[in-house]
Structure 1
Amino acid sequence: MNKSHISLQDIMSLDLIGNFERSSQAMGFSTLHYHEVAAISSLPKPLETLFNLFLFLIKLPFPPLLFSRRRKKKKKDSPRKDGRSHQPNPSKLQSRERQMERKKTATELVCEDEQRFWASLRHFYGQGNESWEARPGTRWPAGSKKINVYTLFVQIVTRGGFDEASKDKKNWWEAGHIAGVPPGLVGTLSYQVKQLYAERLLDFEYYLLLIPPSEIPSESQAYPLLSPFSSLSSSGRYIPSLFSPCFSLSASVVTPKMDVIEHDTPSNRRGVFATSSSRLPLPPDIDPLMTLALPDQGMPSFCLLAGPDSNAETVPNIYRFCWMGIRSDIDKEVDFALHHLIVISDERGDKLKFSDFNMLAESLAKQVLKVSLLVYGQEWVIELDHPNNISSKNLNVIFALTGTPDLLHRIQSKKVCLDDTNLEDESFRIKLQRVNQAALIIRNMCLLEENARWFAEEPLLRDCATIVLNLPCQDRFIELKNYFLEIIEQTCPFWDIWDQDPLYQTLINLISSEDRFQLLTALKCLSLFAIERIESKIIDRIPSQTIEQVIRLTLLKQDPELLSVALDFLYQFSRYQLNVQQLVADFNLPVDLIPHLVHLLDYGSVVRNKEIIDQAERKAPPPNQIPIPHQDLYRDLVKHSEPERCSLWLKCCFVEDPECEITQLAIWQAYQACFSQNRIPGVQSADTLQATEFISTVSNTFSSAQAKVVEGPSARFIIRGIRPLETTYNLDGFLSLHCLWGKQGEIRCDHVFVDPAILRNHVFQDHLQLSPLASGGWNLQPQPSNPRACHWDYCSEYLAPTPNIALIAGHVSAHLPPLRDMTKPPPIPPRAIIQPKCARLFKLYPTPVDEHGEPYGIAYKALLVMRYILIGLPSTPSGSQYNNLPWRKVVFGSQRSHLIEAATENPSLTKEIFAFLNELDSSS
């Protein structure tokens, strides 16, 4: 019999109750395999029940009384020993009646007790196989803050539930603030709080509305706090819980194949393996392996939840399985581990740390280094000794503790055994897939700063990155290289680097790559190295061919990301004077670089028009007098009753104008004078409205009219938003045209017309006495015997009669209104402009600025590069080639006018560009 485990047949051959523990110690087994335990489901029901009872008994701290006598339950109507019957307690009856009248719902019970809330929520998540944490005191993240889950649920339920609370966004503001969101962020994070509730608590809210209060689980009935596949004993060992509601006895856990994972573990669901230091007491675990895992025999290392150096921190077993599987170097175990580590590192990267799993980073690096077997036909030998202590000339060795200084030489000495056809067999594909998966895990884990620091402290991992980036330029290795470039981007702030560093030299070579991502990320990494390691001056002594490649990138205006990274690199490069002198010596800066940088000063700008007003516009003041309706309009108005008549009068005499106002007294008096006096013979006066009704009618007629009181020494009652018209309009909306013909000292004609053509005919026929022609028009022949004069509105230009009829007719036509379309009323003309506005319009091209008004972006970077080039220029004359001019004039002289133009058109950089020009003029 295998001593490492016990099979189902061995258990059935023993005395299940009396001799099982003694026999198990004699046999020396330590664990029960899942697939053998799963076979219990195929037993007959009585045997399965007996086995379950046995598993429960061996966990109890004291032997129970299996055959205790049961007390007889008294019947409700049985007589007492004293002969009296049982009488119901009146107070209990009243209490029971009150309970029947008011029975609390499940939602109310859950909101009253926080422990009951967590138990119910955990039970609900367990039924749906949800993996979110539901521990007492758990705070869920909403944006950048964490909120109290219980408080949030109570607040939303108090406001009528999710649907009712969503009717007003202020409900989510208040609930989020009470749940823990700072006051300044309640508006910003209210959407995240609402989404969090909808994702994790909305179904729970609906669930409580559907169940009776009796179905609310207690703390002992709730699902366990750990994952469905794990539980913890008091000794800190991992024990599979066969009786967990989430665990099926008929399920078999089999190591899946690499390509198709047939049975995923809970590690691919977010939050299943999250740990917390605050834990509540768990109900007694029903552990079938309690007696098997004896302390003197010990458990296998992959079943222990905490290592000897982990300060007894509990880690879910799937992490340990993957950790041990990746170290085992067994293909099936490695495939299983890689698959689940990819999921865990993506979904729960904050829980997967190199520091918690010894040799995990090194094991993943070793998996990546197996790519050398595919490329060069042999694997790298990892040596743990110092390079100086090894006399071997084997170039296939890398040093894990100190790094390999001549790694590039060792890589170049290897002969590539791959062709360029990219043809692969199945074995090659599987091995390369494992390498890519290991690299992806490292990449995901390095997104956590703690893991990035850990990775940067391991020389083996730096050598691994150098080896990967120096693989042959074949499409099959692009994914692997990209992963490691992203790893370097995350870890470069924590790496020490020098100019002869193999990794640094590799990044310099990648600038010449034709792959956009590799070029972009290499430039990013070099710029980040320069920012974090200013004292080492690592961005120095770079070949001119590489600098030329970067200068060419400044022409790529269609690729802002690559252009921005190129400017970042040039900015870091030009910070050192020796580098600027290299630019001056190797390049023609006035042609190759500076014009491109000047043209970038408006990159990303948005056209904005700026108006400078030299003379403000002035409008004519509103008329001082309110127009009086003429006789025909008055007859039409009195046909209507109040308040319709008042509203029609207002529309005929006033128009909306937000800039004007009129006193309430003036408009009231004009209204009274229009209808209360007998102005027209034969037409009686009409009844008028009271003052309050009249003011109300004004507000109802014009939407812009507002009755106000202007405070002051003497209060003024006004109506703002209307102005009187120059003349009245008829009920159809046409302007009333008065005939203003009349001599000095005589009464005017004052006939009223609506159509300008009729008014013209009236003036020409009745006043000028012109004869119409049969063909149309008027007889304009000179008439010396009957000269005419202009008497329109007391005109003084042609007071003396003249025989030139054509001249006088043309003059009078200038007084008359122009002809118009009478099919629809014209719009009411605005107030006349007595002084037009004089302004100058400029087009500006501002570039982006932050919330504080500080510039940023490509345009600002281009200016910074020019500034550092100016600072680093040689102080010596330029030589005979440039007529011994100062280098500042040679480099920037031809672009001075363009710089001034950019400063005037780009207000975001005006101050900075003029400061640069001042520095240019003052530099020697």
Structure 2
Amino acid sequence: MAPPPRDSESSINATPEYHDFIAKLTAYHEKRGTYFDPQPKVGSRLVDLLHLFNIVVDRGGYDKVSDEKLAWRKLGQEFSLGANNLPALAFSLKTAYYKYLAAYEISTIHGKEPPPREILEDTTAKGSGLLTRTLENYTRGRRDTGGLGNDPSDASGDDGTPVRDRNASEDAPTSGGRATRGLRQAPPQRVLFQPDTLPARRTPQQHHTSAPSHNAHSIHTPSHQPPRGASTSYNPSSHPENMSAAVSNYEPRQQIPLPLRPVVTPGNNPVEFARRHEAQKEVGAGTRYGATKGMMLPGNGFDGPNIYIRCLLALRSNIPAEQDYALHHLVKISMERGDKYRFESFPGLAEALLDKLLEVSSLFYDVEWKISYMEDDMNGDQTIDGLSGTSDILQRISKLSQQEVDDNLQAADFQDRLLQINEAGLTLRNMVMLEENAQYVSELYPLRDFLTIALNLPKLDMTVELKHYALDIAEQLTKYMSFEVNDPLYRSLLDQIQSPDRGAILTALRAISRISMNLEESNSLRGVPAAAVQNIIDWTLLYDEDLVHACLDFLYQYTAVVDNVDFMISELQVESLVNQLTRLLLYGARTTEKELPLGRDWKKPAPAEPAPVPKDLLAQLLRLEEPERSSKWLRCLCEEDKDESITQIALWQAYQQRFTQPVHEQGRAALLPAAEFIKGVSTTFADKATAQVQAGPVQKFIIKGIRFRHVPVDLSGEEYSKCLWRNHPSSTIECGEFFMTAEQMYNHILKDHLHAPQLDDGKFQNHNQDYMCLWGKCQRYRETSAAKLSQIASHIKVHLPQKKEAVDPYGPPPAKRIKPSYIIPAPRQTFLFQNTAVDERNDAAGIPLSAVLVLRNLARNLPKTEAEEVAMKSDEKVSLVDRLFKPVEKQLFEIFAHNKSLNLYMSDLLSTIKEA
């Protein structure tokens, strides 16, 4: 019968020495006031503390073993803890030693006073350094669970408030003094962006799950993984790039409701507080509470709210140190984790940042803005309407009395407050880069009032940073907003166009051009001052691609409204704008050449007879034996053509006529029989040539798929050149002999046609005689003859074939002929194209596209303006379209012909001009 199963196995050797050791340990822990388990359990085994103590001491003690890599795993193997999940079992073994033997080792082996229990037994066993650990040098960066085998949590991020240490660089006229941690420099993106596929507005059920996770399996993530927070590894003296790994790995978790229990204080329960105080004294000075097994000690076990909630509460507290802590982490998280940082997941955070930002006015004016969401509480010049916005905010700002502020030297409190406000602005600016956040805060009317206030701050160097943050925020929000002509934010953005700051102008133009982009209503851009429009027109002349592109985007939106075009015609000189836009149609154009045919290819009719065989080719063919000779002859005089055919009898007779007599004279092998010759034709042109019988009144035996060549080729496939010399000026019959090289044809013409005497060395003697050029249709030396042979010889070289390039026998083979010789290609012409930028869909893009769209708007809307009616009633009766576009019409047609990228848009523009 099998023995009954046991829950655990014991590895304890209960010797007298063991019992004596356990008794000493029990007395030691009672005196120290800590909990002691004489038989701790690791996995399924009970641990022999004496054996464990001796092994660790022999190896140098707890600190040395902990510093050695994988040392506790090796100890776990010696204690036979098993192979399943050995890292967790090894940590449990280390924790058992840490809780029950570490302090005893320090006291008995090293002869030192062990650290207090709050930094030893009450913390986890991670790390080492027990011999040098003190209350002064040990700062817990996280709250420890104190349980065996449980990793600590750092979700609370309580690493203290960052210290603002100023340095000499803050003496420069900056916006509030830069803290040494340099948070506003863009850190490296340590986490690859993964777009959140969940809907922007979650259902109530989704709010109770791991919403920021990017896949459904993240809900089932084991709970023993350590929570992550933003502030657990904060080091204010580190480089900005050394950001917290906890922040970069942070995943917002399910929020656990915090149970509220009354705290005993001298105020609410003095009797109970005094009793507990006396009980603590009796336990000993080194303990905080009595050692009770299983009790959750204060500060242990519960991580507290996540970093977002802590930052929100700290920001609302109005305590400067707490707000420093909150803004520091909000800036860091908004930079590194902006893809998951959504306002709707943390209600009240946007409002808290907005309250902080509104404090900026109190630095320069005697005002404290207050946001009111009650209709009956809107009294006072310092109250901002949180329901529908403050329509007279600009008038209120103009009535404020400005305080005397030195732009180069500020007090420490002033500098710290401005730095906090800039950090709040930077956080909000980083967060609205996410479309969900931008759409969320676009509905906050107090935010519009803040943007107006920020853009109208005094023109000081210290306010430049916050103004740029406000412009960046406005650029992201205006696509979800619509403005009336007198809207304060709209007027403030228009004022920035006349600013001397290029960055402010660029961002303001982009913000204005995006107004109502994502709304059904259009952006009319009414009320733009004439000076601002003139500046935008002038800036298109600058060699600044970003600024020119922003100006063209604005002009495209502006000229889409007829009233705006009427205003431009009446108040400004638009001729220069049309000329500049025409020039910009070729901005960044790349000139390319392309050869295009001027018609279709032409096919020569097939000759009825084969071409004569050149002498040198005939000599080469006669040296060959049959059937190779007949096959080579066919290749030299015939070529494939699926639409043509040659009769078998004509091909056989041509073969006999060419080779019968030379073969007999040279004693070569006899010719092939007719049947074998016809069979060889199909073999030579195996791809297309076939022997067939052509039906009709008289049946014909033909070879379908081949035709005679006009010009023969040599054995390597190179074409010969034909001599076009005529025997008499009135004759139309040409010589017709073929030559491969220009030298052969030159000698042939001088010797056989001009009958020039040839010397022994091969050269020709120069004669004084009248010579005429009878080459083809050449008119040279027709009316006036050449007086010398050298003159006509120099002219003859013009008609000779070009010298063929030598083929490298070791190089790559020559390219195959693309078209047959009977195909005469159409004449071709080279065209120049000036193509501008295109996008990934090969459509027009960039500055040229914006320029042509502005021109099209002008051409469409000019006939609808009142200025057009006035122009047509005048004596000249010239339309505005003709007055503006006629001077550049030729250039527009040239661009239409040469710029294929803008072809469709230019066609539409020219059609609009013609119809106007």
TM-score class, shorter: 0.5 to 0.7
Report the Cα distance in structure 2 between the residues aligned to 1:411 and 1:878, rounded to whole angstroms: 45
Letter of the structure 2 residue corresponding to residue 468 of structure 1: A
Deviation at 1:546, TM superposition (A): 2.0
The one-character-per-residue Cα deviations of 1:401-427 (angstroms, maximum 9, x if unpaired) are 554433334434242544454x67877
Partner residue in 2 for 1:273 = 251
Partner residue in 1 for 2:431 = 445
SS in 2 for 1:303: coil
Deviation at 1:477, TM superposition (A): 3.9
Alpha carbons of structure 1 residues 546 and 290: separation in structure 2 relative to 1, 3 Å: farther
Alpha carbons of structure 1 residues 337 and 900: separation in structure 2 relative to 1, 3 Å: same
Any conservation in 2 of the 1:370–1:435 contact (CA below 8 Å)?
yes
Any conservation in 1 of the 2:552–2:851 contact (CA below 8 Å)?
yes
Report the Cα distance in structure 1 between the residues aligned to 2:545 and 2:36, rounded to whole angstroms: 75
Report the Cα distance in structure 2 between the residues aligned to 1:872 and 1:763, rounded to whole angstroms: 78
Deviation at 1:441, TM superposition (A): 2.0
**Gaps spanning 5+ residues in structure 2: where?**
1-28, 39-117, 132-143, 152-189, 200-213, 256-290, 696-700, 729-733, 777-785, 809-813, 897-902
User: 1:493-504 residue pairs with structure 2 within 5 A?
Assistant: 493-504=479-490
Partner residue in 1 for 2:783 = none
Report the Cα distance in structure 1 between the residues aligned to 2:613 and 2:476, rounded to whole angstroms: 84
User: 1:396-435 residue pairs with structure 2 within 5 A?
Assistant: 398-400=384-386, 403-412=389-398, 413-415=400-402, 417-421=404-408, 431-435=417-421
User: 1:234-633 residue pairs with structure 2 within 5 A?
Assistant: 253=232, 256-257=235-236, 265-269=244-248, 272-273=250-251, 303-304=304-305, 317-331=306-320, 333-372=322-361, 375-376=363-364, 380-384=368-372, 389=377, 398-400=384-386, 403-412=389-398, 413-415=400-402, 417-421=404-408, 431-529=417-515, 539-556=525-542, 558-576=543-561, 578-589=563-574, 591=575, 593-597=577-581, 618=602, 620-621=604-605, 623-626=607-610, 633=617
Any conservation in 1 of the 2:145–2:300 contact (CA below 8 Å)?
no
Any conservation in 2 of the 1:610–1:841 contact (CA below 8 Å)?
yes
**Gaps spanning 5+ residues in structure 1: where?**
1-8, 19-31, 46-51, 60-129, 134-139, 146-195, 201-218, 231-239, 241-250, 278-287, 305-316, 700-704, 794-803
Q: How many residues align?
A: 666
Partner residue in 1 for 2:870 = 877
Deviates more, 1:256-265 or 1:429-438: 256-265
Any conservation in 2 of the 1:662–1:719 contact (CA below 8 Å)?
yes
Report the Cα distance in structure 2 between the residues aligned to 1:524 and 1:445, rounded to whole angstroms: 19
The one-character-per-residue Cα deviations of 1:767-811 (angstroms, maximum 9, x if unpaired) are 98765689975475789xxxx999999xxxxxxxxxx99899979
Letter of the structure 2 residue corresponding to residue 870 of structure 1: P
Deviation at 1:549, TM superposition (A): 1.8
Report the Cα distance in structure 2 between the residues aligned to 1:792 and 1:570, rounded to whole angstroms: 66
The one-character-per-residue Cα deviations of 1:363-386 (angstroms, maximum 9, x if unpaired) are 22233344445x527673424366
Asked whether 1:13 is paired with 2:1, we answer no
The one-character-per-residue Cα deviations of 1:305-348 (angstroms, maximum 9, x if unpaired) are xxxxxxxxxxxx23333333433444554444434433433444
Letter of the structure 1 residue corresponding to residue 435 of structure 2: E
Alpha carbons of structure 1 residues 861 and 662: separation in structure 2 relative to 1, 3 Å: farther
Any conservation in 1 of the 2:711–2:721 contact (CA below 8 Å)?
no
Letter of the structure 2 residue corresponding to residue 586 of structure 1: E
Q: 2:860 aligns with which of 858, 863, 867?
A: 867
Letter of the structure 1 residue corresponding to residue 883 of structure 2: G
How much is the aligned-residue C-alpha RMSD, in angstroms? 6.6
Any conservation in 1 of the 2:371–2:385 contact (CA below 8 Å)?
yes
Partner residue in 2 for 1:37 = 123
Any conservation in 2 of the 1:676–1:687 contact (CA below 8 Å)?
yes
Deviation at 1:511, TM superposition (A): 0.9
Report the Cα distance in structure 1 between the residues aligned to 2:444 and 2:424, rounded to whole angstroms: 17
Alpha carbons of structure 1 residues 860 and 817: separation in structure 2 relative to 1, 3 Å: closer
SS in 2 for 1:442: helix
Asked whether 1:893 is paired with 2:883, we answer yes
Any conservation in 2 of the 1:302–1:320 contact (CA below 8 Å)?
no
User: 1:700-715 residue pairs with structure 2 within 5 A?
Assistant: 706-707=687-688
Alpha carbons of structure 1 residues 708 and 863: separation in structure 2 relative to 1, 3 Å: farther
Q: 1:858 aligns with which of 851, 854, 863?
A: 851
Deviation at 1:507, TM superposition (A): 0.5
Letter of the structure 2 residue corresponding to residue 583 of structure 1: M
Report the Cα distance in structure 1 between the residues aligned to 2:807 and 2:130, rounded to whole angstroms: 98
Letter of the structure 1 residue corresponding to residue 865 of structure 2: G
Deviates more, 1:826-835 or 1:32-41: 826-835
Any conservation in 2 of the 1:497–1:504 contact (CA below 8 Å)?
yes
Deviation at 1:446, TM superposition (A): 1.5
Any conservation in 1 of the 2:581–2:851 contact (CA below 8 Å)?
no
Alpha carbons of structure 1 residues 627 and 572: separation in structure 2 relative to 1, 3 Å: closer
Deviation at 1:494, TM superposition (A): 2.9
Partner residue in 1 for 2:226 = 228
Report the Cα distance in structure 1 between the residues aligned to 2:775 and 2:862, rounded to whole angstroms: 79
The one-character-per-residue Cα deviations of 1:807-836 (angstroms, maximum 9, x if unpaired) are 999799979985987996999999999999
Q: 2:905 aligns with which of 898, 902, 909?
A: 909
Deviation at 1:527, TM superposition (A): 2.9
Partner residue in 2 for 1:121 = none
Any conservation in 2 of the 1:575–1:868 contact (CA below 8 Å)?
yes
Report the Cα distance in structure 1 between the residues aligned to 2:649 and 2:406, rounded to whole angstroms: 101
Any conservation in 2 of the 1:338–1:434 contact (CA below 8 Å)?
yes
Partner residue in 2 for 1:682 = 666
Report the Cα distance in structure 2 between the residues aligned to 1:815 and 1:132, rounded to whole angstroms: 72
Report the Cα distance in structure 1 between the residues aligned to 2:628 and 2:654, rounded to whole angstroms: 13
Alpha carbons of structure 1 residues 371 and 293: separation in structure 2 relative to 1, 3 Å: farther
Alpha carbons of structure 1 residues 447 and 367: separation in structure 2 relative to 1, 3 Å: same
Any conservation in 1 of the 2:742–2:800 contact (CA below 8 Å)?
yes
Alpha carbons of structure 1 residues 12 and 224: separation in structure 2 relative to 1, 3 Å: farther
Any conservation in 2 of the 1:328–1:334 contact (CA below 8 Å)?
yes
SS in 1 for 2:514: helix
SS in 1 for 2:475: helix
SS in 1 for 2:370: strand
The one-character-per-residue Cα deviations of 1:498-557 (angstroms, maximum 9, x if unpaired) are 33332122111001122233212222222332556786976323322222222323434x
TM-score, with length taken from structure 2: 0.55
Any conservation in 1 of the 2:766–2:789 contact (CA below 8 Å)?
no
Any conservation in 1 of the 2:694–2:702 contact (CA below 8 Å)?
no
Report the Cα distance in structure 1 between the residues aligned to 2:522 and 2:541, rounded to whole angstroms: 30
Letter of the structure 2 residue corresponding to residue 916 of structure 1: T
Report the Cα distance in structure 2 between the residues aligned to 1:252 and 1:38, rounded to whole angstroms: 19
Any conservation in 2 of the 1:530–1:572 contact (CA below 8 Å)?
no
The one-character-per-residue Cα deviations of 1:643-692 (angstroms, maximum 9, x if unpaired) are 9878866775578x999987797999699757899734232227989899
Report the Cα distance in structure 2 between the residues aligned to 1:43 and 1:612, rounded to whole angstroms: 82
Any conservation in 1 of the 2:603–2:822 contact (CA below 8 Å)?
yes
Any conservation in 2 of the 1:771–1:778 contact (CA below 8 Å)?
yes
State the percentage of identical aligned residues. 25
Letter of the structure 2 residue corresponding to residue 257 of structure 1: P
Any conservation in 2 of the 1:598–1:898 contact (CA below 8 Å)?
yes
Alpha carbons of structure 1 residues 300 and 494: separation in structure 2 relative to 1, 3 Å: farther
SS in 2 for 1:358: coil
Report the Cα distance in structure 1 between the residues aligned to 2:796 and 2:553, rounded to whole angstroms: 71
Any conservation in 2 of the 1:405–1:501 contact (CA below 8 Å)?
yes
Deviation at 1:750, TM superposition (A): 12
